A and B are shown apart, each in its own frame.
Chain A
Amino acid sequence: MKYIEGFFRFWYDFIVGDDWRVAAGVVVALAVTAALARTSVPAWWIVPVVVVSLLSVSLWRAARGRG
């Protein structure tokens, strides 16, 4: 059990890291992009804009000692 927990802990720390909100935001942005891809609305800009916003908010929280 300890090894299984350690295995998942490793991958969580490795991929998600210190701020899970960033991971959740990226998943939502990709889902919205995939949904808009089926329409005529241009969707290529969503992920870059969301990523930059998530990064900025996460950095701001870390700098303020809340991240």
Chain B
Amino acid sequence: MSAVFLVLAAFLASTVEMVEALTIVLAVGLTRGWRSAMIGVAAALLALAAVVAGFGPALTLVPIDALRLLVGGLLLVFGVQWLRKAVLRASGYKALHDEDAIFQREAEEAALAGRTRGALDWYSFTLAFKGVFLEGLEVAFIVLTFGSTQGSIPLAAVGAAAAFVLVAGTGALVHRPLSRVPENSMKFAVGVMLTTFGTFWGVEGAGVSWPGSDLALLAILAFVLAISLGQVRMLRWLRARAAPVGEPAMAMAVEP
């Protein structure tokens, strides 16, 4: 059961990050040409491979309880802030993530930026490298932490690889930002899963056994999901109550 959760969580989290990286690469590639952008992507993937090769094996040397406490704590902190943002988005207190708007802005900035003389367009290279490397670091963090605490980095990598094939393949086919991916709902789901895993592993790492063992994961998941949905409802109600009469309570700006 936890293996299914592991692959699913790695897949969803990786998809969200990869969609964001794809938007940046598409905006640069379509407005300034593909060569330098793709060199930037390749360089970022090489740098990421070096980071994973360096830290991955090191994590397997740490005793499992210490690793679960450390990684569970990190995942929990990370997961709760992810969930916090997702609840604020779902309730209208934070702007929704809009890939079309981000693509538009990145493309406008890329078109306006000056060009350097020489074989490589450094603007394209840097932007593509930065986008893929930073979003990729987040994917690497999730895969390494999920995988190492569950004792199976390859299984978490399967989820991330599936996301890569899906997002990169779709991006190559459609050549448009993947704005139809339900990114905000996926971020909500990932926030719930990260918080669930972080709670489970953090408590186990602290030396406490869960009643019901692995089945506790389901109970924590249901608990976190119910609380989060309840908070969305409550915040929506608060927002509607605070909005002046005649003004739409759920009006949202696009997140930059």
Contacts and interface: CB of A to CB of B under 8 A. Distances in A.
Contacts, number: 109
A63 to B, nearest CB: 6
A47 B199 CA distance: 7
- Per DSSP, chain A at the interface is helix
A60 B88 CA distance: 10
A34 B83 CA distance: 25
A37 B73 CA distance: 16
Interface residues of A, number: 31
Q: How large is the interface on B (under 10, 10 to 19, 20 to 34, 35 or more residues)?
A: 35 or more
B209 A55 contact: no
A3 to B, nearest CB: 13
A15 B220 contact: no
A29 B199 CA distance: 10
B208 A16 contact: no
A16 B211 contact: no
13 contacts: A14-B78, A14-B141, A17-B84, A18-B81, A22-B81, A27-B77, A30-B73, A30-B202, A38-B207, A43-B203, A52-B223, A62-B93, A63-B239
Shortest 3 CB-CB contacts between residues of A and residues of B? A17-B81, A37-B207, A34-B206
Interface of B: 69, 72-74, 76-78, 80-85, 87-88, 91, 93-94, 134, 137-138, 141, 195, 199, 202-203, 205-211, 216, 220, 223-224, 227-228, 231, 235, 238-239
